[in-house]
Structure formats: C-alpha cells, structure tokens
Amino acid sequence: MKNPQSPYDFLERPASLARGSVTTDVTNTLRDAIVSLALKPGEVLDKNAICDQLGVSRFPVSEALARLQGEGLVDILPQRGSIVSLVRIADVREYMLIRKALESEAVRALVGRHDDTLIADLRGNLAGQRLAVERDDRSGFHAQDLEFHEMLFDAMRFAKVRAVIESARANLDRARRLIITPRRLALSLDEHHQVFDAIVAGETERAVAAMRGHIDSVMAELLVFARAQPEIFADGETLSGDEDTFPFG
C-alpha cells in the first residue's frame, strides 16, 4: 500500500506481516530500497515515517536498521539517527577482486563439463538481456545480469562459492547500479556474449579471460564514476588520478 503523503511512498508494505517474520520482511524491504538507490547514499532515515509507511512498530524497524548496519548499508549515529551508508569504493574493489577470482575459476571448471540445457538457458538469458538493452530497461537488465552469473554457479553446484559472493552482493549491486547507462548495458551484454561463446566453443582460457575482462571493465567504469562524483562515496576524496586503477591482472 502506498501513502502519497509519505516520503517513503515507494516502500511497499509487506503483504503478510506474520508473527516472527516482521523484522525480516522490513529488513528485506529496506535493503531492496537501498540497493535499488530508491534510498540514496547519505540519505537520513526517518524511523517514524518508515514505521507509518510499513504499518509496523519501531522495534522491527530498529532491528532491521541494525541488521543493515551489519551489512554495511546503514550507518547508525549516536544521538543523530540513521543514514544510508555512502558507498566505499575500497570495499567495492575488494568485493570485485573476490568475485573476479571465484567467477573466473568457476568458468574454468565449467567449460567442457556443461550440458545442452545450460547452453539453452544461457542463450535464453542473453536474449532477455538484449531485449532489456533495446528497451533501456535497466532494472530488467540488472535482473537478467544477476541470473546469468547465477546460472554458471548453479551448473557446477558451487553452493559455498555462491554463498561467498551473495554475502557481498548488496553493496556490489548498489555500486553497479550507479553506472547503469545504455552504454554500460550494451557493453555488459557484449562481455556476457564473449563468456558464453567461449564456453560453447570449449575454449577454457578464452572463457576465463572473458570473465576476468568483464569484471575489470565494470570496476574500471566505477572508478571513473567515483572520481567524477566523489560525494557519493565515503572515500571518494581519496581517489587519485589515472594511476588509481583496478590493480589486479
């Protein structure tokens, strides 16, 4: 339900506030709003207004904010309230290094061991990505992008590897959404195709290089954006010039 008089009218009240799950539902709602940038980096959070919009008491909202603080998405300031955390480019750099190492090795393990079903699923996903690019559907592309990478892990049943990446996903997704433009969508689609084509061809090293190149490309664009708009980042002022790159080969 939306309240047009609320500053948080974009927050959807959970359909079912079952006893014992209220805090989880509120946490998920607020996390989604932060990751999607509906709640912007540095924005002050009005706890009372959030309670009114979601139809809950202060306790689950307070607990949700504490959980999101643990995820690095919210800062709780004594005597000052809570704000949406600024993005830390240093953290994003580390998360991207982890993702680069794990995803490239997942691709290495996958080539030559995949089945026709995976190829068909990936091809269908890429068709969905292309349609989203043509429509400039940024949210739709983002969802297809996540699914593309998840398919690779699911095919190898790398549950632990996927869990490590999932733990960093919220902050990564928030940072990546900052650079979603028609140009970036087209680039990511092309980079995903390069990974796919190498897998189909059975060329392991080409597939690994394509995945590593894709992640490097995204990180390099994030650094350019962070230098241009340092106020969005907690450590934006520390970024130097061209020598401050994603330093992992």
Question: What does the pLDDT look like over 111-151, one tens digit per residue?
Answer: 988 889 999 999 999 999 999 999 999 989 999 999 999 89
Question: What does the pLDDT look like over 74-117, one tens digit per residue?
Answer: 999 887 889 999 998 888 888 888 889 888 988 999 998 888 99
Total-model pTM: 0.83
Domains and CATH numbers, the chain: 22-84 (1.10.10.10), 89-238 (1.20.120.530)
> How far apart (Å, rounded) are the C-alpha atoms in residues 117 and 161?
22
> How far apart (Å, rounded) are the C-alpha atoms in residues 13 and 16?
9
Question: What does the pLDDT look like over 35-61, one tens digit per residue?
Answer: 989 999 999 999 999 999 999 999 999
β-bridge mates for residue 44, sequence order: 83
Structure token pair of residue 146: 């996540």
